[in-house]
Amino acid sequence: MSGKVLVAGGGVICGIGLHLDACLGSFASMRPGMAPMQYLRSVHKDTFPVAEVKADNDTLAQMAGLPKHTSRTALLSMIAAKAAWESTGLGYLTNYRAGFISANTVGGMDKTEDFMNEFLPDNAKGHLRGVVNHECGAVTELVADALGVKHHVSTISTACSSAANALMYGSRLIKNGIVDVVIAGGTDALTRFTLNGFNTLMILDQQKCRPFDDTRTGLNLGEGAGYVVLVSEAVAAKLPNGAWCSLSGYANANDAYHQTASSPEGTGNYLAMKGALEMSGVAASEVAYINLHGTGTQNNDVSEGTAIVKLFGQDVPPASSTKSFTGHTLGASGGIEAVFSALAVKEGIIYPNAQFTTRMKELPFSPVTTFSTGNDLPHVMSNSFGFGGNCSSVIFSR
């Protein structure tokens, strides 16, 4: 494998904005996206705040240019992927050998849940179009067809590290000359199944989540989609406004400690971050900002923080969890945070950690709590750590 892989653009839709500029406005004005459920129907509506995308399915379908009966997961995917490609200024996607590598964990489950509400009382009711795109790969293929991607289409589903792993796979496709451009990232919509599952694990906060805060009591779920456009050096030379940055390093490690918990000493987290640095040729001291996985659960933040201290020592760079704004978007999180991190290199952005008040007693550092631009950020690390110990870290470089 040879040659640089560059980030040509990116697109996001999530609980703090229908597009990237809106998200930046929410960060700058300290407006997290968590609120009582408006679109997801659940018995927990008044118990758990969530970071929903602030639009109903009809509005999203219009934005995506897809039929109204399309799953919310696919609608979010199409909107963000289309925005990512348009941000590059490269013209028609069909002019390139293109790949679409998209992550998700729920597939079209939002539509399946609606179908089952009608079907279970009377098996003569319910539209089959509500279940035909249930599985995760169907969402990817539906969006790839709408985008006109024909050279390579794949779905990644490795829990919360899914979208980061999509970037790794996309980079390898380009480095091996299989495609010239890849739209890589992830999407996930809120579903009752997901909400109930996390509630069973007893890791949902009934208030706005507080990642890396000593008073944290859990996470808030969110939804959305985020994609970066990865390109070869040859394609990057055609960019009208230049590349955002390069994807200089990445690594995946699995500590296999527990089905849902990270190892207390952060073994997988440490190995992923260390491997990403080694691939990029960047020293830990050169990392200028870390976009933390930072879910706000007791286990996650201790595990990630312990691994960071092991790797960076007492000189931990500025770090924050954007999940304190977007909620945990599961399979989409690594994609959304990749866009934020790549843009951080380009614009010198450091994002704030909302709701923070008290440093964790286990760690010698606190997250950044203010939004700033114009910082010198030659290298930015983004962490995505999933269930089962599937840990991924990526490095974006100027």
Output the pLDDT for position 2: 62
Measured distance CA(116)–CA(12) in Å, rounded = 30
Q: Which two tokens stand for residue 354?
A: 């909302």
Location of structure tokens 């930046």 = 24
Domains defined for the chain, CATH in brackets = 5-236 (3.40.47.10), 248-397 (3.40.47.10)
Orientation of helix 267-280 relative to helix 298-312, angle to 10°: 40
Output the pLDDT for position 75: 98
Q: What percent helix, strand, coil does the chain show, rounded to 5?
A: 35, 20, 40
Is the backbone of residue 146 left (phi > 0), alpha (psi -120 to 50) or beta?
A: alpha
Q: Catalytic annotation on 19?
A: no
Render pLDDT for 172-204 as a digit per residue (tens, 0 to 9): 999 999 999 999 999 999 999 999 999 999 999
Output the pLDDT for position 266: 86
Tell me whether residue 202 is exposed, middle or buried, using C-beta atoms within 10 angstroms of its C-beta: 0 to 12, 13 to 18, 19 or more.
exposed
Q: Catalytic annotation on 44?
A: no
Output the pLDDT for position 119: 75
Out of 14, 245, 293, 379, pick the active-site residue.
293
pTM of the model: 0.96
Render pLDDT for 153-175 as a digit per residue (tens, 0 to 9): 999 999 899 999 999 999 999 99
Out of 14, 328, 379, 391, pick the active-site residue.
328
| DSSP run (H or E) holding 14 | strand 5-14
Measured distance CA(369)–CA(27) in Å, rounded = 10
Q: Catalytic annotation on 160?
A: yes
Measured distance CA(25)–CA(31) in Å, rounded = 8
Measured distance CA(98)–CA(178) in Å, rounded = 9
Output the pLDDT for position 122: 79
Output the pLDDT for position 394: 98
Measured distance CA(44)–CA(13) in Å, rounded = 24
What SS3 class is residue 385?
Answer: strand
Out of 160, 209, 245, 391, pick the active-site residue.
160
Residues in the chain predicted with pLDDT less than 50, given as ranges, are none
Q: Which two tokens stand for residue 47?
A: 């118990």
